[in-house]
Structures are given as structure tokens and as C-alpha cells.
Amino acid sequence: MSLPLSSQLLNLLAAVLLLLSFAMLAQRRLLSLVSLFAMQGFALCLATLLVALTSTQTHLFYSAALTLVLKVIVLPYFLYRMIHKLEVLWDVETLLNIPMIMLLGIVLVVIAFNLAVPISQLSSTITRSMLGIALASVLLSFLMMITRRKAIPQVIGFLAMENGLFFAAISATYGMPMIIELGIALDVLVGVLILGVFFFQIREQFDSLDLEHLEKLRDE
């Protein structure tokens, strides 16, 4: 029995989200990393919009619009401006080499799918089969955070992890209440603005965005 067209499109968008998570994990150029984050936000927006069209959850239309404005336009634009002003276009330093990171990513995907099986069985949403991909995206974003030395890729990893958590919420329960989504969006926006000021202070003091300098300062 073939799946409905809406389910096939949702599966396709979920696969795109997972592929973009792997692409971000392997990406070293910061501008390309921001572009991948914007693409991930756009795929998330389309998935949210499709779920809203195929269900009775009208609040997801507002969630899709919020995702489009914040994660496809505002945050990528702010990150582009910050990268150009700081003149840090490359991020070549990782704690592990890229092949090892990708192997760890595959292991995390397997773990995520196994963790999602009992949870998806309790869900009644049309997107419950995609919960494993959502959890995998969260774990891959977390892996990107802990394997990068520079501050900006870690922030992008945090934002990508929030994308995965949002997709997990849609997959399990058709998203969170609108007031909670607005609060989280505001917190993310304010947090990125504060971190932008923090980055400029780090660059002014150490002439680098390598967080190893902060560790040495703490040790001293």
C-alpha cells in the first residue's frame, strides 16, 4: 500500500533535514555553515507548513511563519554580518578529524532511531515515524558543538539543535503551544545578540575566537 503524497513529502523533508545535519557536521567554511543552517530552517518551515495543511493544528501556520522569519532570514543575516565584521570566514580546527566525526555521527543516528521506536509507538501524529530523524538531528548538532574549537560554529550548532528539538516536538505532539514557541524564539534571538557582543569582546581581547583562550584564562 503506497503512502499518501503528504506523507511522502514529509518523509522527503525529514531526510533533507538529516542530510543537512550531516553536511553541517562536515562543513568547515563558516559562511557555508550559515547557508546550511538557513536551508535547514527552510526545510523545517516547509515541514511545519505541510503538517499544518494535513492536520487540524492551525497554530502550526504561525509556527511556520515564525520559523521562516527567524531561522531563514533574521538569524542567518545576523550571522553573516557578524562573520564578515569579525573576518573569520574559515573554521578549520576541530577536536577530531572529519571522517571520525562522520563515523560518530552515524553511530548517533543508529542510537537515535532505537531511542525513538518506543516513543513513536505512543504517538498518534502523522509524523510519528520521523521522530528518529528529529532526535538524530539533535544529537548531530550536539556533536558539532562539542567537536568545534571556535565560538561561532558552536552557536550555530546550538541553533541547529533547537531546530531538531522543534521538529521533534512537531513529530511527537504537533508542536508546542504558541506562547511557548514565541518565548523560545525571543530567547534564542536575544541570546544570539548577546553572544554577538560577547564574540567581539573575545576578539578584541585575544585576537581570536578560539575558546581555548578562555580555558587558559580560567586556569590562571
Dist CA 69 CA 1 (whole Å): 38
**The domain containing residue 125 runs over which residues?**
5-91+109-219
- Mean pLDDT across 109-116: 88
What is the per-residue pLDDT for 219? 46
Give a yes or no: residue 24 inside a domain: yes
First to last CA, the chain: 65
3-state SS, residue 94:
strand
Dist CA 127 CA 6 (whole Å): 10
What is the per-residue pLDDT for 181? 62
Q: Is the pLDDT of residue 53 over 50?
A: yes
Give a yes or no: residue 71 inside a domain: yes
State the chain's mean pLDDT as an integer. 78
What is the per-residue pLDDT for 130? 79
Give a yes or no: residue 101 inside a domain: no
Give a yes or no: residue 26 inside a domain: yes
Give a yes or no: residue 103 inside a domain: no
Give a yes or no: residue 104 inside a domain: no
Give a yes or no: residue 96 inside a domain: no
Does residue 97 or residue 190 have the better pLDDT?
97
Other CB atoms within 10 A of residue 149 CB? 16
Angle at alpha carbon of residue 55, lines to 52 and 59, rounded to 5°: 45
Q: Is the pLDDT of residue 125 over 70?
A: no
Give a yes or no: residue 10 inside a domain: yes
Q: Contact 66/52 with Cβ under 8 angstroms? A: no
Residue 179 banded pLDDT, cuts 50, 70, 90: low
Residue 150's nearest CA partner among 20, 23, 26, 30 is 30
Give me the number of domains the chain comprises.
1
Residue 1 banded pLDDT, cuts 50, 70, 90: very low
pTM of structure: 0.81
